[in-house]
Amino acid sequence: MNFVIDTSLCSGHGRCYTLAPEWFDADDIGYGQVKDAPVPDGERARTADIVAACPEGAISVKEG
Ligand code: SF4
């Protein structure tokens, strides 16, 4: 399971990397980037909160 950011929607609010720096980082101008760090099954409950925290609806979760 991994997070995905739709870069056409991301506006750089930074909530993703503030809330979950273990899975997100900022690029040079503050837009979110997904780190190469899979989400363990035990953290599944957090994923909905992180998806919901993006004001642009740019974050989704890819299974697998
Ligand atoms: S919270 Fe959403 S809009 Fe903000 S940086 Fe992260 S993906 Fe982009």
Domains of the chain by residue range:
2-62
Tell me: pLDDT of 61 over 90. Answer: yes
Looking at the chain, the whole-number percentage of residues with pLDDT higher than 70 is 100
Tell me: pLDDT of 1 over 90. Answer: yes
Residue 17 CA to residue 59 CA, distance in Å, equals 12
Tell me: pLDDT of 2 over 90. Answer: yes
**Does CATH number 3.30.70.20 belong to domain 2-62?**
yes
Residue nearest to atom 3 of ligand 1 (CA): 10
11-32 tens-digit pLDDT: 999 999 999 999 999 999 999 9
What's residue 64's pLDDT?
Answer: 78
Pick from 4, 10, 19 the residue to mutate for probing ligand 1's pocket: most ligand atoms within 8 Å of its CB: 10
What's residue 18's pLDDT?
Answer: 97
Q: Using the atom order of ligand 1, give the atom closest to the CA of residue 31.
A: 5
